[in-house]
């Protein structure tokens, strides 16, 4: 039986695991995000020590190049993260471990993990969103991760912003009041002056639910996924997802001709492990090709 | 060699064709949209007279039920079109012709036609939008039409609407100022007091380009298609699509890390025939299952 390595890369740490799924993780490690050389060195060292593995899946922060055949496939590209611009992650790990490597976004890995073992099990299509420091999205459609011109950059679509009701100009350095600029953890902290998990004002959470629902409405209008799974720190606020589904229902105003199923907008069954476990599922796709 | 029937259903007329593709249409007819019984009767009569065909594909106005296995598969459902609410189109045609029938939205049929023979040929994914009386969208992803909870209802997402610059409240009976309510032909006529093709004010077209770009930004953020094909009467306004791509580029503000390809937002190579030819491609999928 094959054994897979999963790697989930974030701005502060990289999670590594070896196994075949949620009930069979044989080794795990957390590596701090310092320089690419040091971080990748520690990841490779973990797999050499605890492996061998037959393939590795990497779900990384981005933007990144996941286009097969591209000369810079496996690179983190235009990230604001210092020292990580144009950092080769995927090719370097593939070269040093000598096994097939699949490389994708952290949210696509989480989408795959949730589709395989979590809240999206058995469904034809799901949309996975993370609402944390930033906002990102990824999709599984007919069992496959969605790719096109690039990977989805969900956080940067625009939603209606009533500046009379919410004068906050938005926190995105690229677009100001895009969805991420209005509703990410970074935006919440800048608007309300405290971390998201310290915000108690109910009106603040009503506004947050409204913005997230406007973003998800675009997802329903374009992709029509069978379920929407929302992870990330901000999404863990009690009752927020039920409220988002309520707002989404209001915004749709009966147009679909049927109600959204209960729990249409739901939390990841794999919790914070969705990314690293999804990376294991990614590794399996690399081994199969 | 198999011969296919294609049917494209609209609010004023239904187009029927028999053939195998754009260069091989052997018979065609236009049937007025009157009552379901009369219109379907004329369609069936055309295929009985000019056929036989091995399968029929139907791309219809909606909302409709295209969910395989549903008891009301093949029905037009909650349409405002008088007499057509809960009209059985697909099952009736299948029963009377005794051949496999594929049933989908008009825009999904057009998306399939453009992917197979038109502006989306050879691409992994495309998004097809029609901007006419209403606004609708459909996608081909990895060669397959996109389905999920329902079909996409692109026109009903919300985009930023600056009521100081554009006090028009929107024309959608369900949502007011959704994308369709702001940018469809119906909206243009209501806002400017004349039909879309009579509007000469450049500022009106600048506003139209802006709204369409905001809608397409959501498509790029969620689906990231390799190309966007825009059909429908309003989209034929000279220079509009180039202007939409310019606005889209401005809205993205370099975030993808590379420029949109020239002609990323483009017209349907099959023109007004995209729907009925796409229905022939749909028929082929029905024959294959």
CATH number at residue B98: 3.30.420.40
What is the mean pLDDT of the segment spanning B208-229?
96
Q: Which residues of chain A neighbour B148 with C-beta distances below 8 Å? A: 124-125, 141, 223-226
Asked whether residue A86 falls in the same domain as residue A127, the answer is no
- In DSSP terms, B17 is beta-bridged to B6, B28
In a domain, B112, yes or no: no
CB nearest A223 (choices: B78, B146, B175): B146
Cβ partners under 8 Å of residue B112, min gap 6: B104, B138, B140, B145, B278, B281, B282
Burial class (CB in 10 A: 0-12, 13-18, 19+), A174: middle
Asked whether residue A78 falls in the same domain as residue A137, the answer is no
C-alpha A89: how far from its chain's center?
18
Asked whether residue A188 falls in the same domain as residue A201, the answer is yes
Q: Which residues of chain A neighbour B158 with C-beta distances below 8 Å? A: 159-160, 214, 217-218, 251
| Minimum distance, in Å, between the CA of residue A37 and any CA atom of chain B | 23
Q: Which residues of chain B neighbour A152 with C-beta distances below 8 Å? A: 221-224
Give me the number of domains chain B comprises. Answer: 2
CB nearest A153 (choices: B221, B225, B226): B221
Whether B225 sits inside 8 A of A148 (CB atoms) is yes
What CA–CA distance (Å, rounded) separates A32 from A16?
11
End-to-end CA distance of chain A: 17
Query: Using one digit for the tens of pLDDT, what is the confidence trace for B77-89?
Result: 988 788 999 999 9
Model pLDDT, residue B256: 65
Asked whether residue B198 falls in the same domain as residue B156, the answer is yes
Asked whether residue A125 falls in the same domain as residue A91, the answer is no
Asked whether residue A151 falls in the same domain as residue A250, the answer is yes
In a domain, B27, yes or no: yes
* B109 touches B275 (CB < 8 A): yes
Higher pLDDT: A37 or B288? It is A37
* B77 touches B65 (CB < 8 A): yes
Is the complex ipTM more than 0.90? Answer: yes
Mutate to test the interface with B, among A255, A259, A262 (most CBs of B within 10 A): A255
Cβ partners under 8 Å of residue B192, min gap 6: B199, B201, B204
Burial class (CB in 10 A: 0-12, 13-18, 19+), B42: middle
Banded pLDDT at A42 (limits 50, 70, 90): very high
Strand-strand pairing, A227-231 and B55-60: unpaired
In a domain, B113, yes or no: no
What CA–CA distance (Å, rounded) separates A67 from A235?
30
CB nearest A225 (choices: B142, B149, B256): B149
pLDDT surpasses 70 at B228: yes
pLDDT surpasses 80 at A152: no
Model pLDDT, residue A257: 62
| Residue A56 backbone dihedrals phi, psi, to 5 degrees | -125, 140
Cβ partners under 8 Å of residue B280, min gap 6: B4, B5, B6, B17, B19, B20, B21, B57, B113
Asked whether residue A153 falls in the same domain as residue A71, the answer is no
Asked whether residue A247 falls in the same domain as residue A192, the answer is yes
In a domain, B114, yes or no: no
Whether B141 sits inside 8 A of A141 (CB atoms) is yes
Q: Which domain holds residue A246?
A: 119-266
pLDDT surpasses 70 at A249: yes
| Minimum distance, in Å, between the CA of residue A25 and any CA atom of chain B | 32
Whether B150 sits inside 8 A of A224 (CB atoms) is yes
In a domain, A13, yes or no: yes
Asked whether residue B71 falls in the same domain as residue B93, the answer is yes
* B195 touches B154 (CB < 8 A): no
> Sign of dihedral through CA atoms A257, A253, A177, A275?
negative
Measured at the alpha carbon of residue A180, what is the angle toward residues A176 and A183, in degrees to the nearest 5? 105
Asked whether residue B92 falls in the same domain as residue B197, the answer is no
Task: Say which range, A123-137, B45-59, B245-259, B274-288, has the weakest mean pLDDT.
Answer: B245-259
Asked whether residue B83 falls in the same domain as residue B46, the answer is yes
In a domain, A133, yes or no: yes
- In DSSP terms, A172 is beta-bridged to A176
Cβ partners under 8 Å of residue B252, min gap 6: A156, B217, B220, B260
- In DSSP terms, B29 is beta-bridged to B16
Q: Which of B224, B241, B230 is nearest to B155 (CA)?
A: B230
Banded pLDDT at B1 (limits 50, 70, 90): confident
What CA–CA distance (Å, rounded) separates B125 from B108?
13
Banded pLDDT at A44 (limits 50, 70, 90): very high
Asked whether residue A258 falls in the same domain as residue A143, the answer is yes
CB nearest A146 (choices: B141, B150, B174): B141
A129: nearest CA partner in chain B: B222
| Minimum distance, in Å, between the CA of residue A273 and any CA atom of chain B | 23
What CA–CA distance (Å, rounded) separates B247 from A132?
29
* A237 touches A197 (CB < 8 A): yes
Model pLDDT, residue A148: 79
In a domain, A61, yes or no: yes
What CA–CA distance (Å, rounded) separates A47 from A57?
12
Percentage above 90 pLDDT, chain B = 87
In a domain, A114, yes or no: no
């Amino acid at each position: 039986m094959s054994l897979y390595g999963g790697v989930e890369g974030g701005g502060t740490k990289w999670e590594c695991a070896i196994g075949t799924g949620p009930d069979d993780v044989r080794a795990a490690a957390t590596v701090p995000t310092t320089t690419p050389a040091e971080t990748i060195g520690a990841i490779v060292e973990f797999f050499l020590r605890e492996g061998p593995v037959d393939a590795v899946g990497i779900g990384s922060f981005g933007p990144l190049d996941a286009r097969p055949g591209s000369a810079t496939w496996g690179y983190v590209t235009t990230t604001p993260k210092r020292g990580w611009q144009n950092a080769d992650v995927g090719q370097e790990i593939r070269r040093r471990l000598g096994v097939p490597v699949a490389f994708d976004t952290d949210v696509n890995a989480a989408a795959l993990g949730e589709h395989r073992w979590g809240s999206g099990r058995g469904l034809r299509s799901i949309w996975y969103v993370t609402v944390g420091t930033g906002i990102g999205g990824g999709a599984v459609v007919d069992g496959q991760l969605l790719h096109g011109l690039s990977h989805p950059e969900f956080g940067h679509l625009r939603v209606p912003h009533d500046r009379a009701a919410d004068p906050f100009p938005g926190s995105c350095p690229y677009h100001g009041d895009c969805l991420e600029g209005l509703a990410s953890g970074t935006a919440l902290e800048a608007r309300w002056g405290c971390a998201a998990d310290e915000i108690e004002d109910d009106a603040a959470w009503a506004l947050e639910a409204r913005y997230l629902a406007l973003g998800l409405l675009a997802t329903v209008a374009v992709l029509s996924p069978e379920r929407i799974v929302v992870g990330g720190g901000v999404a863990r606020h009690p009752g927020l997802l039920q409220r988002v589904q309520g707002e989404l229902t209001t915004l749709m105003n009966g147009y679909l001709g049927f109600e959204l199923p209960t729990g249409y907008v739901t939390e990841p069954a794999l919790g914070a492990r969705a990314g690293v476990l999804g990376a294991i599922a990614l590794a399996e796709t690399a081994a199969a090709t």
